[in-house]
């Protein structure tokens, strides 16, 4: 068994464009992607696409399939997965570790891989359904919203409304029903002893990890009558919400190249940005960003730029929920050592709500949103010249607290240059930031001390 680290190293190192070119020298650049006639079936007009951003290939013609560098070599050379992986490892000078793992871990891994396999096949089934003429309206919706290229390459799918489609298909193929139940792709009607599909009448988006393994799904209701617009996979050994990031498979290379991820609130926003050619956009799967997700992003790039949802503020509030979301999550990104910026999306005409998914139709639109340093942006949003002295002092404390999380001195100096536009005196900002720094250090010390005292039994919890 080839270790996961080896496979990850191969996929990190492989360059899909030069790899495919060795087999098909005619591969030519067209826009962001490369195209040629498919090497796996006969054709006269090129329908074989290679995406350097995603590091994937896809045949839009008769094959209607795609994959990564390893699966390309499997198909081109007629190799098995381990053969293709070894072949590439040797070529890129990567030591091919055969994994030795304790029995318990091995079982867990095999179980996880089995679940990913079931997900992969379910994703393929959903994708076939989306392209079935019977479901033309679902395809039309998906293509209108995301474009046909994104729909095919991201592997979007459709879960039919019947409620039995996946069950029947999986059972006919002899899938292990227990794994499907564990993934919550199907559920059991205890009274009747029958099974039914979890996703019904939904547009299905596979959630992948950065190596394109299908961890789970998020699915949009197409009936228009369901209260739950987006339904995500439930927690399982294959999918952990707090560790999963929508779009990371597509965003990884581009983020490493630009040293930057765009962070948006919803998976469909990230999908729409990818479709518009902004490949380094990612989103959490409902709710706030987590420490686990931040740590993963940090391996890919040092900078993050938030793009908010723009919604009208509630009565008596200065800004909308999307702005508050960015303030909270921007702080978490600072705590993880990112250089953080914001491109503030304004309300749509007539003070109507909009989000990155409705805003972006092309990459050029990024230029319409001015990039601002995160703390300077918070400061500008909080600060109101009309506020009384008390309020202003509060703002300064809050801004200084955020500023004190910036470790890089040059950046901090640049920020202070921005802050003096609000409150003129640099010394006021400097001393407030220093106070915030010391307060944090003291709080940490106190916490450690308390932990120590607790550990040794000097503090008793009531
Ligand atoms: Zn083909």
Most confident of 50-54, 85-89, 93-97, 294-298: 294-298
The number of C-alpha atoms within 13 Å of 108 and in the hemisphere containing its C-beta is 7
Neighbour count for residue 182 (Cβ, 10 Å): 18
Ligand 1 centroid to residue 41 C-alpha, Å? 5
Ligand 1 centroid to residue 202 C-alpha, Å? 28
pLDDT band at 415, cuts 50/70/90? very high
DSSP string, 197-250: ES--SEEEEEEE-TT--EEEEEEEE-SS--S-SEEEPPP-SS--GGG--BTHHH
Ligand 1 centroid to residue 84 C-alpha, Å? 20
Q: What is the pLDDT of residue 93?
A: 87
Ligand 1 centroid to residue 60 C-alpha, Å? 7
DSSP label at residue 265: S
- pLDDT per residue over 392-401, tens digit each? 999 999 999 9
| 304 Cβ contact list (under 8 Å, min separation 6) | 260, 261, 262, 263, 297, 333, 338, 339, 340, 341
What does the alpha-carbon distance between residue 457 and residue 192 come to, in Å, rounded to a whole number?
56
Q: What is the pLDDT of residue 458?
A: 66
185: three-class secondary structure by DSSP: coil
Ligand 1 centroid to residue 46 C-alpha, Å? 9
Ligand 1 centroid to residue 43 C-alpha, Å? 8
Neighbour count for residue 110 (Cβ, 10 Å): 12
What does the alpha-carbon distance between residue 257 and residue 253 come to, in Å, rounded to a whole number?
6
pLDDT band at 165, cuts 50/70/90? very high
List of long-range contacts for 110-115, beta carbons under 8 Å, 24+ apart:
111/237, 112/237, 112/238, 114/176, 114/179, 115/179, 115/182, 115/183, 115/236, 115/237, 115/238
Q: What is the pLDDT of residue 272?
A: 97
Q: What is the pLDDT of residue 251?
A: 93
User: Cα 229 from chain centroid?
Assistant: 19
Is a pLDDT exceeding 90 seen at residue 450? no
What does the alpha-carbon distance between residue 265 and residue 410 come to, in Å, rounded to a whole number?
30
Ligand 1 centroid to residue 447 C-alpha, Å? 61
Is a pLDDT exceeding 90 seen at residue 260? yes
Q: What is the mean pLDDT of residues 298-307?
A: 94
Backbone angles phi, psi at 42, to 5 degrees: -80, 130
Which token pair is 298?
């940090």
Is a pLDDT exceeding 70 seen at residue 430? yes
Q: What is the pLDDT of residue 314?
A: 93
């Amino acid at each position: 068994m080839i270790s996961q680290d080896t496979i990850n190293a191969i996929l990190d190192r492989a360059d899909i464009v030069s790899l495919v070119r060795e087999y098909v020298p005619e591969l030519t650049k067209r826009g962001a992607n490369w195209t040629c006639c498919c090497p796996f079936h006969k054709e006269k007009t090129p329908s074989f696409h290679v995406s350097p951003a995603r590091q994937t290939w896809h045949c839009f013609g008769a094959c209607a399939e795609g994959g990564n560098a390893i699966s390309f070599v499997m198909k081109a050379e007629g190799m098995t997965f381990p053969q293709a992986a070894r072949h590439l490892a040797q070529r890129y000078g990567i030591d091919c570790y055969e994994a030795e793992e304790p029995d318990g871990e091995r079982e867990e891994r095999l179980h996880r891989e089995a679940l990913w396999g079931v997900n992969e096949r379910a994703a393929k089934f959903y994708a076939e359904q989306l392209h079935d003429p019977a479901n033309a309206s679902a395809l039309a919706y998906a293509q209108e919203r995301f474009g046909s290229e994104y729909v095919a390459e991201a592997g979007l799918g459709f879960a039919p409304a019947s409620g039995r489609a996946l069950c029947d298909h999986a059972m006919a193929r002899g899938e292990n029903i227990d794994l499907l139940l564990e993934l919550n792709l199907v559920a059991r009607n205890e009274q009747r002893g029958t099974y039914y599909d979890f996703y019904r009448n939904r547009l299905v988006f596979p959630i992948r990890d950065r190596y394109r393994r299908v961890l789970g799904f998020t699915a949009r209701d197409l009936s228009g009558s369901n209260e739950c617009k987006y339904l995500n996979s439930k927690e399982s050994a294959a999918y952990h919400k707090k560790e999963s990031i929508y779009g990371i498979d597509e965003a990884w290379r581009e983020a490493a190249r630009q040293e930057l991820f765009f962070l948006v609130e919803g998976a469909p926003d990230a999908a729409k940005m990818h479709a518009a050619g902004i490949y380094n956009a990612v989103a959490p799967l409902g709710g706030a960003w987590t420490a686990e997700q931040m740590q993963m992003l940090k391996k890919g790039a040092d900078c993050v730029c938030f793009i908010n949802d723009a919604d009208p503020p509630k009565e008596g509030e200065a800004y909308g929920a999307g702005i508050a979301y960015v303030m909270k999550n921007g702080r978490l990104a600072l705590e993880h050592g990112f250089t953080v910026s914001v491109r503030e999306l304004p309300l749509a005409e007539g003070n109507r709500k909009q989000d990155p998914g409705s805003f972006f139709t092309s990459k050029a639109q990024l230029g319409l949103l001015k990039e601002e340093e995160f703390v300077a942006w918070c400061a500008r949003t909080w600060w109101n010249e009309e506020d009384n002295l008390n309020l202003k002092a509060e703002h300064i404390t809050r801004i200084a607290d955020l500023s004190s999380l910036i470790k890089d001195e040059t950046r901090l100096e640049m920020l202070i240059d921005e802050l003096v536009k609000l409150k003129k005196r640099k010394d006021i900002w400097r001393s407030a930031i220093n106070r915030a720094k010391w307060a944090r250090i003291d709080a940490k010390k106190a916490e450690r001390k308390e932990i120590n005292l607790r550990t040794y039994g000097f503090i008793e919890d009531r």
